Chain A
Amino acid sequence: MKRTRIGFFNKQRQFEQDMLERGVEYEYSSFYADSLKQLKKNKMAMGCAVILLLLILIAIFAPLLAPYDPAYQDYTAVLAEPSSAHLLGTDEYGRDILSRIIYGSRVSISIGIVAQIVASLVGITLGSLAGYYGGVIDNVISRIMEIFQAFPDLIFAMAIMTFMGKGVLNLFIALGLLTWVRTARMIRGSVMQLKEKEYIEASRACGASTFWIIAKGLIPNCLSTIIVMVTLGIPNAIMYEASLSFLGIGIQPPTPSWGNMISAAQTFISYRPLYSIMPGVAIMITVIAFNIFGDGLRDALDPKLKT
């Protein structure tokens, strides 16, 4: 038997038909179209969106944009001053700093995004289970969240990296584990509120399975929260990556990352200050752009999240 779902979109169709029959002209805008309109009004956020787009394009087209191979070592120009050949100079192995910063954006942005995907998967699963079931399951999950939250972040990441060993994949997992609690808390709260709504009652009465209710009934309604959490979580993860790489337990050289470049540059600050400054500028621009764009998204999508 085919199950007919009477949901939001069916109602919308009904509404459209009614209006058509009555000959009333109307303009309909969905929740997301509304939010987008709201977001477009926010000039700061849109400016940051453009910057982010540029950063992502730079990361994707790094091989085309970078003047040199980031691993190419020019022994005739070790720690060279900025010049027309090397716009930002070279590092201690004669590698072009600008090219390394451009390639570093790949590491930072991909780590930010993947870490947030990991965090969201864990956070959404555990958060919705805790919120939906309540009782013992909620209790256990909430206690686990408390423990994770009480662990000081960098030391926790260090412990995980010691355990799993250095490497990009392990860094994804460590950063995901570091940041899932916030998402889980938010989702838990939203799910707890939403599950009391009539439409969930209705789908339960129709015999929908628990999985269906959570996956189709509850999570889509948390989508705006999830989008905001991910956008604001990415700069966080980028910052952790930079910090861990700076401490020497994140991305390992020779792979260029903004954090490990600053770490390497530290030795040469007295006569090549630009070498340590520029990767930091890159981090700052990325983090600020994500933060302001994320704030704008939050205001547009989910104003009650504002704290």
Chain B
Amino acid sequence: MLSYTAKRLGQTVFVLIGISLITFVLLQVVPGDPVALMLEKRADPETIAKIRHELGLDLPYHIQYYNFLKGAVRLDFGTSYFTKEVVSVALIRSFKVTVKLACMAFVFAAAIGIPCGIFSAVKRGKRIDSVVMVLSIIGVSAPAFWFAIILQIIFGLKLDILPISGFDGVSCYILPSVALGARYAGSMARITRTSMLEVMGQDYIRTAKAKGASRWSVIMKHALKNAMIPIVTLIGTDFGYMLTGSMLIEKVFSIPGIGKLAVDAMSNRDLPLLEGTVMYIAFVFVIVNLIVDLSYAFLDPRIRYGKGAA
């Protein structure tokens, strides 16, 4: 376990450095001078040169990268060109909102997806199984932002029971988290079903049944426990996606989360803010995946010693 952890940690550091390099190349070396954009062409070349110097944009690229990396490690990405807010403050403020949204969506997805998956595995081939599977295909194939708009139309406008935007109060979070979670509920139902079916075909389940254990005790105690391993990995990764991929939902409901920050930064070409959000989101995503992998290895010793090492 220790050597696996060390290996995985080393890999993570390497990946993060790679991501920072790509981010730097894509965003810092961009065509189009952010300073000229910032001053809206009103300034003379002299002022532009002065500001470029202040921001360190006139340094050679490898020194700029070093400064960027140094800042990233300390969570210091400078201040936004537009709002003049310190980037890390804006990041933390928005991230809190996104975490709250992702957690609620995650709870929703797991609460719907896993029981549905178990149920359709138990009732394999029956009508309820097909219904769950069709719903899960629709859930996976419908664009989340479109589903969000439909929820707005139904619950916000036609029934008028839930607010369609904003982020104060629990009721504001219901529609966004359902919209964000729907797709993952679908994929969780599918993976739970597959995993359960695989486990339920095994000998020890037959033994348990033969011993006279009740149907639900076999399903919940014997089957589900072993079926959980792939499910845990999947839902861990899903949580990473929810944390980092909520920008579509945030746009629909105008929630000031990290995704909206990124989209705004992008449309304003606000480089410090964009670099900050990209690095931050990538960092969170990579760390969530690291935790998932380590817990997977912890749960399933086969990963530590065999196949997973490749």
Contact = CB atoms under 8 A, between A and B. Distances in A.
Interface of A: 143-144, 146-147, 150-155, 158-163, 165, 235, 239, 242-243, 246-249, 259, 262, 265-266, 269-270, 273, 276-277, 279-280, 283-284, 287-288, 291-292
Given A143-B14, A153-B245, A247-B248, A239 B143 contact: yes
B299 interface: no
B150 interface: yes
Contacts of A143: 14, 18
Contact of B269 (A155, A162, A247, A283): A162
A287 B137 CA distance: 10
Nearest to B137: A288
B146 A262 contact: yes
Interface stretch (B19-27, B119-127, B172-180, B216-224): B19-27
A259 to B, nearest CB: 8
A92 to B, nearest CB: 16
Looking at chain B's contact residues, is the secondary structure mostly helix, strand, loop, or mixed?
helix
Q: Please give me the 4 A-B residue pairs with the lowest Cβ-Cβ distance, nearest first.
A: A280-B146, A147-B18, A152-B244, A163-B26
Contacts, number: 129
Interface stretch (B43-51, B90-98, B280-288): B280-288
B15 A152 contact: no
7 contacts: A152-B244, A152-B282, A242-B143, A246-B251, A247-B247, A248-B263, A276-B149
A49 B143 CA distance: 21
Nearest to B280: A155
Interface of B: 11, 14-15, 18-19, 22-23, 25-27, 30-31, 137-138, 140-143, 145-147, 149-150, 152-153, 157, 240-241, 244-245, 247-248, 251-252, 262-263, 266-267, 269, 274, 277-278, 281-282, 285-286, 289
B26 A150 contact: no
Nearest to A159: B26
Nearest to A281: B146
A162 B146 contact: no
B266 A150 contact: no
Given A150-B286, A249-B266, A270-B157, A163 B30 contact: yes
Contact of B251 (A239, A247, A265): A247
A266 B252 contact: yes
